[in-house]
Amino acid sequence: MRSYEQSAALLARAQNALAGGVSSEFRKYNHPHAIFYSHAEGTRIYDVDGNEYLDFTLSQGPLLVGHNHPHVTKRVDDYARLGQLYAGQHILEVELAEKLQQLIPSAELMRFCLDGSEAVQTAFRLARAKTGKAKFLRFEGHYHGWLDNVAWGLSMPSVDALGSPEHPNVFPWTAGLPDRVSDEFITLPWNNLDLLRQTVAAHHHELAAIITEPVMCNNGCILPQPGFLESIRDLCTTYDITCIFDEVITGFRVGLGGAQAHFNVVPDLSIFAKAMASGYPISAIVGKRAWMDLITTAKVIHAGTMNSSNSTVAAALGTIEVLEQPGVYDHIYQLGGQLMDGLRAIGRHYNQNLLVQGMGPMLHTGFTDLKQVNDFRDVQAYDKVKLGRFVAGLHDEGIRIIGRGLWYLSAVHTTGDIDMALRVADRVMSKLDS
Ligand code: PLP
């Protein structure tokens, strides 16, 4: 049995200085409590108690080329040596912008920000300014950051609390939200095209934007129904609504051009963050000129002291250079497929109601009698207690996945890593009901 004593001691100390002992809410919910790490390399991460983990968390997604990739680290070291922040422009950010223009279908122009939450808000501002309308339509279970107008509906007491699909209830995720902020958006279940069509027909006069994760990765790992993204795109064109893809997870992870290239649906604006820069704080709001030129002309203001610092831009270029090597994505998809097939076989072998859904670069494991999970309402049917036991069992045997059942793959995972993960998953599953 692994010991987490040093982490527990550090957590107790941290709680006197850091609120809750952590720097982001989600880090509280590790097993058996917030864990303190000492170092990481490739697919392995080590905690302060000396425990080694094969990492499928990848820092909640960003580490698509693994921890501490030598090419990325060298790129960062070389460029940060020249200074870090100039309150002015530098050559590498132009090179990065040109690279994103080549790779991402909707990236006619862009601006760099620090994280996904901030870039989402920039997209809303652009959408309002472009359309002259105020509200955005969002989908249940999609996460668009932690700021006021998107911090809703993220934890629901029960499936009944969700209300009717036509008029879902949304609960604030946090205290401290202004009342009026819930008037900024309309919420709908995802993957329900009829409902989307009806709602947009009724509300288009007030809708500035529809925002979606192109793959619903923050609750399950749910693919869009065939035609769903295309229909969002068409409705937006028909009714002068801005189509926003939140590619914070899918960007670079599903392919170099993001989900928009993978599914061949081009939004007006999209947000890239996590996997773009191997954990360095940079995001991009990219989009069509008709929207982004509002920033060019300073009708819409976008700013930030820390934007496009040397190390973050160098990290992004270094990451993309690694991802552009031949065969990288084939490798990631092949390993993801091997992992999904293996997990499904283990579930069948132990007669467990394990459902594995995903795309390869990211996948979800949950326990449910449903044959397919299609939206946030279906997600409520997952057996959270059993999942908790599965995740904790994996963790105690050195396999680290995200607590809600999500696994991220990277370019540096190997077939040996997948074999190891499957061996452990088999052992954990064999004891799951005991
Ligand atoms: N959008 C999506 C789809 C996300 O998954 C996240 C974070 O997990 C965000 C936005 C917010 O990004 P950040 O945590 O970088 O602010």
Residues forming beta bridges with residue 285, ordered by sequence position: 111, 271
Torsion angle of the four alpha carbons 339, 341, 343, 345, in this order, in degrees rounded to the nearest 10: -150
pLDDT at 197 (0 to 100)? 98
For the cut 80, the answer to whether the pLDDT of residue 1 exceeds it is no
Location of structure tokens 């040397």:
310
Cβ–Cβ < 8 Å for 261, 288: no
Ligand 1 atom nearest residue 114's Cα? 15
Nearest to 420 by CA among 338, 358, 330: 338
- DSSP secondary structure letter of residue 27: G
Geometric angle at alpha carbon 292, from 290 and 295, rounded to 5°: 120
Q: Which of 249, 306, 404 has the most ligand 1 atoms within 8 A of CB, as the residue to mutate?
A: 249
Q: What is the CATH number of domain 70-323?
A: 3.40.640.10
Report pLDDT digits (tens) over 350-360: 999 999 999 99
Ligand 1 centre and the CA of 142: distance in Å?
10
**Phi, psi (rounded to 5 degrees) for 204:** -60, -30
Helix (H, G, I), strand (E, B) or coil at 203: helix
pLDDT at 153 (0 to 100)? 84
Q: What is the ipTM of this complex?
A: 0.99
Angstrom distance (rounded) from CA 240 to CA 223: 26
The phi-psi region of residue 183 (left if phi > 0; otherwise alpha if psi is between -120 and 50; otherwise beta) is alpha
Angstrom distance (rounded) from CA 219 to CA 78: 39
Ligand 1 centre and the CA of 248: distance in Å?
6
The phi-psi region of residue 315 (left if phi > 0; otherwise alpha if psi is between -120 and 50; otherwise beta) is alpha
Ligand 1 atom nearest residue 247's Cα? 3
Query: Would you say the CB of residue 147 lies under 6 angstroms from ligand 1?
Result: no
Ligand 1 centre and the CA of 336: distance in Å?
22
Query: Would you say the CB of residue 112 lies under 6 angstroms from ligand 1?
Result: no
Ligand 1 centre and the CA of 143: distance in Å?
7
Cβ–Cβ < 8 Å for 115, 191: no
Query: Would you say the CB of residue 270 lies under 6 angstroms from ligand 1?
Result: no
Ligand 1 centre and the CA of 268: distance in Å?
19
Angstrom distance (rounded) from CA 136 to CA 100: 26
Query: Would you say the CB of residue 242 lies under 6 angstroms from ligand 1?
Result: no
Cβ–Cβ < 8 Å for 75, 311: no
Ligand 1 centre and the CA of 119: distance in Å?
9
- CATH level 2 (architecture), domain 5-68+327-430: Alpha-Beta Complex (3.90)
Domain spans, the chain: 5-68+327-430, 70-323
pLDDT at 226 (0 to 100)? 97
Query: Would you say the CB of residue 244 lies under 6 angstroms from ligand 1?
Result: no
Query: Would you say the CB of residue 117 lies under 6 angstroms from ligand 1?
Result: yes
pLDDT band, very low/low/confident/very high, at 271 (cuts 50, 70, 90): very high
Report pLDDT digits (tens) over 133-179: 999 999 999 999 999 999 998 877 778 888 999 999 888 999 999 98
The phi-psi region of residue 220 (left if phi > 0; otherwise alpha if psi is between -120 and 50; otherwise beta) is left
pLDDT at 415 (0 to 100)? 98
Ligand 1 atom nearest residue 283's Cα? 15
pLDDT at 201 (0 to 100)? 98
Neighbour tally for 304: CB within 10 Å: 12
pLDDT at 154 (0 to 100)? 80
Above pLDDT 90, what percent of the chain? Answer: 95
If one compares 205 and 169, the residue with the highest pLDDT of the two is 205
Ligand 1 atom nearest residue 61's Cα? 8
Report pLDDT digits (tens) over 74-126: 999 999 999 999 999 999 999 999 999 999 999 999 999 999 999 999 999 99
**Sheet with 354-358: strands ordered across:** 354-358, 362-367, 406-408
Report pLDDT digits (tens) over 382-427: 999 999 999 999 999 999 999 999 999 999 999 999 999 999 999 9
Query: Would you say the CB of residue 138 lies under 6 angstroms from ligand 1?
Result: no
Ligand 1 atom 1, closest CA: 144
pLDDT at 161 (0 to 100)? 86
Question: What mean pLDDT is predicted for residues 245-249?
Answer: 98
Query: Would you say the CB of residue 116 lies under 6 angstroms from ligand 1?
Result: yes
Angstrom distance (rounded) from CA 185 to CA 127: 13
Report pLDDT digits (tens) over 281-303: 999 999 999 999 999 999 999 99
Angstrom distance (rounded) from CA 311 to CA 82: 10
pLDDT at 434 (0 to 100)? 81
Ligand 1 atom 9, closest CA: 145
Above pLDDT 70, what percent of the chain? Answer: 100
Query: Would you say the CB of residue 248 lies under 6 angstroms from ligand 1?
Result: yes
Amino acid at 49: D
Residues in Cβ contact with 49 at an 8 Å cutoff, skipping those fewer than 6 apart: 2, 3, 4, 5, 6, 7
Ligand 1 centre and the CA of 429: distance in Å?
31
Helix (H, G, I), strand (E, B) or coil at 174: coil
Query: Would you say the CB of residue 365 lies under 6 angstroms from ligand 1?
Result: no
Q: Which of 64, 114, 122, 144 has the most ligand 1 atoms within 8 A of CB, as the residue to mutate?
A: 144
Q: Please report how many Cα atoms fall inside a 13 Å half-sphere around the Cα of residue 270, on the Cβ side.
A: 29
Q: Which of 25, 248, 278, 312 has the most ligand 1 atoms within 8 A of CB, as the residue to mutate?
A: 248
pLDDT at 192 (0 to 100)? 97
pLDDT at 179 (0 to 100)? 85
Ligand 1 centre and the CA of 428: distance in Å?
31
Does the predicted TM-score (pTM) go above 0.90? yes
pLDDT at 151 (0 to 100)? 94
* Fold agreement between 5-68+327-430 and 70-323: no
Query: Would you say the CB of residue 144 lies under 6 angstroms from ligand 1?
Result: yes
pLDDT at 155 (0 to 100)? 76
Six token digits for residue 170: 């949304």
Ligand 1 atom 12, closest CA: 116
Query: Would you say the CB of residue 249 lies under 6 angstroms from ligand 1?
Result: yes
Q: What's the mean per-residue pLDDT of the chain?
A: 96
Report pLDDT digits (tens) over 40-76: 999 999 999 999 999 999 999 999 999 999 999 999 9
Query: Would you say the CB of residue 247 lies under 6 angstroms from ligand 1?
Result: no
- Length of the chain, in residues: 434
Angstrom distance (rounded) from CA 212 to CA 209: 10
